[in-house]
Amino acid sequence: METDESPELSSASDDLLDDYRRWLRQERGLAAESVRCYIQHSKKFLDSLRGPVEMSLAGLSPADVTNCVINASVQSGSVWTRRHR
């Protein structure tokens, strides 16, 4: 069984990631490597939140999510990001 668990995540984050992992596999039918990458990015996102996960997620705006994606792309050195900045 593949695990993507991290000891520093709260149980709320673990539950959320488990549900997301299951959805990616069962509903989207993604390959194991794609699921691993999505979960890895999701863990980083959840780790960046301040306060309890449920409250932090409830307070997010679309701009917050967009900024997180852009920052992750910049940090990764994405070719697409270099072309579109």
Can you give the pLDDT at residue 53?
Answer: 87
Quote the DSSP letter at residue 61.
Answer: -
In the block, which residue shows the tokens 């194991």?
A: 32
C-beta of residue 10 within 8 angstroms of C-beta of residue 53: yes
Q: Which residues contact 12 (CB under 8 A, 6 or more apart)?
A: 52, 53, 54
Tell me the domain boundaries of the chain. Answer: 11-83
Can you give the pLDDT at residue 23?
Answer: 98
Q: Is the pTM of this model over 0.75?
A: no
pLDDT values of the chain reduced to their tens digit, one per residue, 85 residues: 444 444 444 578 999 999 999 999 999 999 999 999 999 989 988 988 888 888 899 999 999 989 888 888 888 776 766 666 6
In the block, which residue shows the tokens 């993507």?
A: 4
> Residue 47 has which token pair?
């780790």
Can you give the pLDDT at residue 80?
Answer: 63
